[in-house]
A and B are shown apart, each in its own frame.
Chain A
Amino acid sequence: MSTDSTDLEWENVAGQSPMSSDQSSSGLSRRQFVQILGGGLLISVLPFPALGQQGGGGRGEARGMVVSARVHIAKDGLITVMTGKVEGGQGARAELTQAAAEELGVPASRVQLIMADTGLVPDDGMTAGSRSTPSTVPAIRQGAAAARNLLIAMAGRRWGVEEKAVQMRDGKVTDGTAGHELSYADLAADEGQSKALEQSIPSGVTVTPVKEWKVMGTSVPRPNGRDLVTGVHQYPSDITRPGMLYGKILRAPSYGAKLKAIDLSRAKAMKDVVVVQDGSFVGVAAPALFAAEQALMAIAGTASWEAAEHPSSEKVFDYLREHAQGGVPKNPFADEMAAAGKSLRQTYHVAYVQHAPLEPRVGVAEWQDGKLTVWTGSQNPFGCQQELARALNLSRDRVRVIVPDFGGGFGGKHSPDAHIEAARLAQAAGKPVLVRWTREEEFTWACFRPAAVIDVEASLDAKGALTCWHFVNINSGGSAVDTPYRAGKIKCQFVGSDSPLRQASYRALAATANNFARESFMDELATLAGSDPLAFRMAHLDNARLSAVLDAAAKRFDWAGRRAKKEANTGVGLACGTEKGSYVAACVQIAIREGRIVVQHVCEVFECGAVINPANLLSQIQGCITMGIGPALREEMRFQNGQITNASFWGYGVPRFADLPELDVHALDRPDLPSVGAGETPIIAVAPAIANAVFHATGQRIRQMPVKL
């Protein structure tokens, strides 16, 4: 459950009557909070607004009422902000810290951010879909602004002046009179004042306008950067607990294989080894990883399996088309297209790829007094809590999930599996258990970006203008399936299929596939119309924000100049697109060397509204481009007989230093527009621009990702 639509209330922690220690799924009682963070002021998100009306003695005094705290200000002025969002490298920790600091009028270094501990933080929804910037930043700003307003109101009352006369400077307020200065520590310490203000909290809190930003809009560095470069930071993989065992899980020899029988006796006979079987789940745990591996090996050989049919990656596109749900939709404009002067129909294929985060899945589980605590790397801590409760038949309030900043997710770590595996083994062992997936397990049993089969048809009139457009995505998703171009009669559809691999989100997953097909096809249409690819796109664009990034990229790249002075075995291509409210255009230059494509130069212009953190934005755009080169050039999962045949970094070619092109990245700042996320959309223009450049270099049209010559 997301609480992005923040309903705020505040409470003064200190001096309240003792609360029940009942703990909910997403928070602590006030007393527990006081124990952890000390007394002071709490600004809370109400998970259930109705609770605010319970009890007679003021807000939140009903038995069992929990505090889903957003901001805590300790009596010494220490500011702690809490969020259910996670940090997996995308920079949310810096950005959300900035959001709070901005509204509190303090430097970012004054704010401590607690992320993704279901026992402490509000549920901000999963960290996905580029939602942290448009949803959680505003939620945190409102919570922090409410605290700031309290301080200002308190000062106004104490000095008998209008609130307008109170100025905020460096975390302190003053009305300009000598001796009239109050800080957050004063506010947090003054129980009487804050209690008197209880009823006066406005429901809608005004946040600082962009033009007055001091902390937002600046390149605040990663708050835990020092811990990351010194090796101090504890990733989920680095968590150890007293007496912890190491777990290994029996994996099927192929997808869909069913366990018929297994003899566990050899592992059970081993010293200090715990063996668990629950239906097809078989796992072992031992005090050392090597011992656990030995135990698993001892029983794996005794297992008998019933194999299942599974299509190969060679045949997967036919398979997906054959299994399109409800069949592949017919072109509703077939008659118009047949009558049109020019028309074109093409099919595009996008392979399954994997996120391959450098930190594989891991879970550490510990049971105590019937309660379960799990440390894991996940983009969905509250979802994990729910999954654990379901899998282990517990109520949610007995499960706490803690997600330390982890080693990359990219959409692939919503449900890490290892959290449940570790919890099951720990339950049986009566000791904490760590389950860490190997790279091979990760490549085989984690999830994949869906493969796509995309059919596109369009027609042009005599002047080269689009008259009809029919676009069908089979299997990979409906994001950005609609065309941003003026195209006459338009029908864009997504139909699901029967995926042979376990699918999940990925950085701009379907938008990447849909944009690859659309932008490659637009290039083909430009050729059919006898137009330049840039001019053809511009002629069909009404969207000013998209035109702006395309125009800016073309100018920075010198599109016209570079296209005119084409050299042998080199080519230039461009692509643009919009997704999740942001806009991107890329121009690339490639060379063909010994039959291989070398991406030499990428110029990308991106626009996501008002820029919150320029350095992190640059990192995200560069990261998208660099990561996007992998699935564009090489990355694809290969499988046969239900087995992944390239389940290692040797067989699966992620981008390396040698793949890095010259990068010219530019962000268009639009302080007049709301900020939206930037971790996904910059990837969507990369592959089609490369494919279009290959055509320019070789005359060969590319209709599959990865690009194959």
Chain B
Amino acid sequence: MEELIKFTLNGKPVEVTADGDRMLLWVLRVDLGLTGTKYGCGESYCGACTVLVDEKATHSCMTPLKMVQGKSVVTIEGLANNGEMHPLQRAFMENDALQCGYCTPGMILHAYELLKKHPNPTEGEIVNGMEQNLCRCGAHKRIIEAIQAAAQAMKGV
């Protein structure tokens, strides 16, 4: 059923008239043109579609649009601040924490939530925190290093 859904997207208010049962992933990608959020499995097993909903890492492929009514959604496109990359984005680049990069938006947004919970995470906390995100290129080690580097860079920020 079509309904009006209002939420904040990357800091700006948006209104979408759409079937509230449609998954947020496709509304973001198709209706709103934000293709940085990726389809990987559609079953909440790979984390490629991760976005932040009220600062919480959320699989947009299994999140009906109506669930974000009145909430704040951040996608990878909204993480940079006035063209200035987020420390996580810089750290992923500097540590070559990606190869094909298809898992990267989901990785970075999940790491964002992780660093909110654990500003100075141990390797074990990173492994546990990132467990839902798959990387097929095998960049795991450098992803851990990038998250640690970002944590350092974000100290005192």
Contacts and interface: CB of A to CB of B under 8 A. Distances in A.
Contacts of B157: none
Give the contact-size bracket for chain B: 35 or more
Interface residues of A, number: 56
A231 interface: yes
A686 to B, nearest CB: 11
11 contacts: A89-B102, A222-B93, A226-B85, A230-B36, A230-B85, A359-B38, A408-B137, A615-B96, A626-B141, A657-B126, A657-B144
Interface string B49-72: 000000000000000000000000
Contacts of B46: 358, 439, 649
B15 interface: no
A407 B36 contact: no
B41 interface: yes
A654 interface: yes
Nearest to B129: A657
B9 interface: no
A199 B89 CA distance: 50
Contacts of B33: 240
Nearest to B83: A230
Contacts of A88: 100
Contacts of A358: 38, 40, 46, 48, 100, 102-103, 134-136
B119 interface: no
Interface of A: 88-91, 221-222, 225-226, 228-235, 237-238, 240, 288-290, 355-360, 405-408, 410, 436, 438-439, 615-616, 618-619, 622-627, 648-650, 654-658, 660, 663
Contacts, number: 166
B80 interface: yes
A105 B108 CA distance: 36
Given A230-B76, A408-B136, A616 B96 contact: yes
Contacts of B40: 358-360, 439
A535 B33 CA distance: 60
Contacts of A221: 93, 96
A231 B101 CA distance: 9
B94 to A, nearest CB: 8
Given A358-B48, A360-B39, A650-B43, A229 B140 contact: no
Given A230-B80, A358-B100, A623-B139, A658 B131 contact: yes
Contacts of B17: none
Contact of A657 (B36, B90, B100, B140): B140
A228 B41 CA distance: 20
Contacts of A656: 131, 134
A407 B100 contact: yes
Given A225-B93, A626-B141, A231 B39 contact: no
Contacts of A238: 29, 35
Given A228-B104, A356-B136, A649-B41, A619 B76 contact: no
Contacts of B134: 358, 649, 654, 656
Given A231-B75, A619-B142, 4 more contacts: A221-B93, A228-B101, A358-B135, A657-B126
Contacts of B93: 221-222, 225-226, 228-229
A626 B41 CA distance: 21
B121 interface: no
